[in-house]
Structure 1
Amino acid sequence: MAAADDLFDERGTEVPLDDVVRRAGLGSGTLYRHFASRDALLAAVFWGRIDALCEEAESLLAAESPVKGIVVWLRSLIGLTMRRGLAAALAADNKDGGSELFRYCRETLDAAATPLLERVKEDGSFHPDLEVSDLITFTHAIAVAAERAPDREEHADRLLHLLLDGLRTREDPLRDL
């Protein structure tokens, strides 16, 4: 799994599984005995990270500032999905209900983000119409846009800052258009 994780980060989620086998120093039979498909390997690599991200969301509910709590969590989410090809792979799996991996990730992330989002909406920091699915979609878009930039973390932070500025509650200048 460590070899797959490294290669997914270096070359994207479509890296040939034979390359994973070589990096791990295993035979292909060993890989396929444990992981019947690419999705199964992706799931094994990323489910643990998704669970850790959800635990982080829960702990951030105690943050003094609701905005700080959600921003820290969104940065972590973008950092995870910015791994080469993961955000695109998760989005591609959404067709026709998606794979088990996509459904698990989406449901788990939505459940983790909902209390954080409700907290910032309740204190009036974010637009009241914002839905958790919007927020997750925006963060995946940021990850896709920034993942190949040479300064990907800085680029992602800039895009997140612009997004958050747009989500703040204030009179809607587009309302009369």
Structure 2
Amino acid sequence: MSTALLVIDFQNGLVATDPLPGDAAAISANVRELTERAHAARVPVVFIQHEDEELVPGSEAWKIADSAQAQSSDYFVSKRTPDSFLNTALGATLAEHGVKHVVICGYATEFCVDTTTRRAAANGFTVTLVADAHTTHDKPHATAATIREHHNQTLSSMRSFGPRISAVRTADITF
């Protein structure tokens, strides 16, 4: 099965902020490990970058965080909504490589990671959500760790899409 790694919104203006997102150092290390392993295995790595009035293309905030280890041979997809497939080149990029399985990591768990995970499954992809490689900022009602755990459990329990969504730790991901 052809696999691609999707790194969602791992941008300076989202993950290199004050305050930092939850478990920022560990999440960044895991994202870096995933991209390094995917590169070594020659698996397509797709960086998805959110654009808005604060994340302006070309700005420092918009750029991929250094810890993610983006390479010029990677694919870069711009988006303006939490859905990485909506009005973007993501679907075409994955189809071009015959991808049937996506491994998902990045930022923000409850928005872009959640929406893209669901949409990938709805589009027929088998999805692996990297359980310890996505994050968000603490919210008044829940910490980033609680939000991450909730989404790991909820998304991996869904059966209605057909293709499975599994939540797997970085150490257990194989490309």
TM-score with structure 2 setting the length: 0.29
Higher strand fraction (1 or 2): 2
